[in-house]
């Protein structure tokens, strides 16, 4: 049993370490605009935000057969196989130009559910009306950061149109990986090596310039990822038919134009609010809200809640040096979440002082308009710097609290507080 718990804890910890990083993603039409600035060939297209813009855009983008591609713009993959909550199947459609307005009316303002969005889906506030291109073949290309080589790596495959995981499984011998020395940048030889690996049939020199343009974009825009899937070939040239671009949030100060493109409607509103106060927050599906200082302690708290039979509603690390305003913001996020049925505050005061946390809790309770505390059970475990002062602040606040002596006790009481069969009197302790 302990081995199973340990394995599950390790999986959750690794997942959190990945999810905790915030990277900017942009929509397909925005990515196309950015790539075109670097001379990368992209399909012609027009973004539309209102239904009355669709007819004009479709007329301009129609091919010789009078057809266009209508693409939902959400920050998730699997759009083509997705389904709208109104019943419309597919987030990407090829249709006659005169049919585009009617189709768009079912897509704009709707919610698209794909395998990557989860059951809640993502709102479709923008459509991309694109030219239907005649593609001879599809390939895969990506630029990523590689820990092994401590720099960028190019990955290519002469087969494309699906996920790299599927490609690697089906065509392992066709995967090409080329590490790049960040100090010297991409060389002509490396660009041509990738072109040969992709088995380009058109102008290879021009194709190499496309690869080099994508690398310049990767470096100059502080990208964490440039994934072109498919990188397609027409009769004349390579085209980045669809791409996913990710940007490092640490570079936001020098990429202000890019970060102005952030679409917060595609993000969890709780995570958006947390980011404004520099809080590490990840929304989960459980019912016990957690406020903890330190990522390791936060993950341990979540694991022991699970071990005690409960389920965490979030990962929330206020950090080792949070201000009272940050604590107030964190508490507001927890109390505004309707799925939270209990809140567990687990603070070890090393750098973070217990009295600051206590003041933040009390002030947050006042600001959310609760007379004596919060609307759900509040379990508090404080230990460390200024712990007695913190307990005094909570004791004199008039708040209805459940206190705990250690982490295991706190988790047990948090889980028990939301179970009807628990004896509530056994939960009460004096500070």
Active site residues: 140, 227
* Cα–Cα–Cα angle for 426, 300, 331, rounded to 5 degrees: 70
Ligand-binding site membership of 125 (annotated): no
Ligand-binding site membership of 350 (annotated): yes
Long-range contacts of 82-88 (CB under 8 A, 24+ apart): 82/112, 82/113, 82/114, 82/115, 82/117, 82/121, 83/112, 83/113, 84/110, 84/111, 84/112, 84/113, 84/124, 85/110, 85/111, 85/112, 85/113, 85/121, 86/110, 86/111
Ligand-binding site membership of 199 (annotated): no
| Spatial contact of 74 and 92, defined as CB atoms under 8 Å apart | no
Ligand-binding site membership of 39 (annotated): no
Ligand-binding site membership of 87 (annotated): no
Ligand-binding site membership of 194 (annotated): no
Question: Phi/psi at 137 (nearest 5 deg)?
Answer: -155, 160
Ligand-binding site membership of 90 (annotated): no
Ligand-binding site membership of 78 (annotated): yes
Ligand-binding site membership of 197 (annotated): no
Ligand-binding site membership of 139 (annotated): no
Sort 88 into a burial class: Cβ within 10 Å, 0-12 / 13-18 / 19+.
Answer: middle
Ligand-binding site membership of 333 (annotated): no
CA atoms of 257 and 37, how far apart (whole Å): 13
| Residues sharing a CB contact under 8 Å with residue 420, sequence separation 6 or more, in sequence order | none
Using only the alpha carbons of the chain, give its radius of gyration.
Answer: 26
Bind-site residues for substrate: 293, 350-352
Bind-site residues for ATP: 71, 78-80, 138
Bind-site residues for Mg(2+): 229, 242
Bind-site residues: 71, 78-80, 138, 229, 242, 293, 350-352
């Amino acid at each position: 049993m302990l081995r199973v718990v340990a394995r599950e804890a390790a999986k959750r910890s690794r997942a959190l370490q990945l999810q905790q990083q915030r990277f900017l993603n942009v929509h397909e039409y925005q990515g196309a605009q950015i790539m075109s600035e670097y001379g990368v060939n992209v399909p012609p297209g027009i973004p539309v935000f209102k239904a009355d813009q669709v007819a004009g855009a479709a007329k301009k983008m129609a091919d010789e057969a009078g057809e266009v591609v209508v693409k939902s713009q959400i920050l998730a993959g699997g759009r083509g196989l997705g389904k709208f909550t109104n019943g419309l199947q597919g987030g990407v459609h090829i249709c006659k130009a005169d049919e585009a307005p009617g189709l768009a009316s079912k897509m704009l303002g709707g919610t698209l559910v794909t395998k990557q969005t989860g059951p809640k889906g993502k709102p479709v506030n923008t459509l991309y009306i694109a030219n239907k291109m005649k593609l001879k073949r599809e390939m895969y290309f990506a630029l990523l950061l590689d820990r092994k080589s401590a720099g960028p790596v190019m990955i290519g495959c002469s087969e494309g149109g699906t996920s790299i995981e599927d490609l690697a499984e089906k065509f392992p011998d066709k995967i090409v990986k080329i590490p790049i020395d960040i100090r010297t940048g991409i060389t002509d030889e490396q660009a041509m090596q990738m072109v040969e690996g992709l088995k380009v049939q058109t102008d290879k020199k021009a194709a190499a310039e496309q690869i080099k343009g994508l690398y310049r974009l990767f470096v100059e825009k502080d990208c964490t990822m440039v994934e072109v899937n498919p990188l397609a070939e027409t009769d004349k040239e390579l085209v980045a038919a669809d791409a996913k671009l990710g940007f490092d949030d640490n570079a936001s100060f020098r990429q202000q134009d890019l970060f102005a493109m952030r679409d917060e409607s595609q993000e969890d509103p709780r995570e958006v609010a947390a980011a404004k106060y520099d809080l590490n927050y990840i929304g989960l599906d459980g019912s016990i809200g957690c406020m903890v200082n330190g990522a390791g302690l936060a993950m341990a708290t979540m694991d022991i809640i699970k071990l005690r039979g409960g389920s965490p509603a979030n990962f929330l690390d206020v950090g080792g040096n949070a201000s009272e305003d940050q604590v107030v913001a964190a508490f507001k996020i927890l109390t505004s979440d309707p799925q939270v049925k209990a809140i567990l505050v687990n603070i070890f005061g090393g750098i973070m002082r217990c009295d600051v946390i206590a003041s933040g809790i009390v002030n947050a309770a006042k600001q959310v308009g609760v007379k004596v505390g919060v609307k759900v059970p509040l379990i508090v475990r404080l230990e460390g710097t200024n712990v007695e002062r913190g307990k005094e602040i909570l004791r004199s606040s008039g708040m209805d609290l459940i206190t705990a002596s250690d982490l295991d006790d706190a988790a047990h009481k948090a889980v028990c507080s939301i179970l009807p069969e628990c004896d509530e009197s056994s939960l009460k302790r004096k500070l």
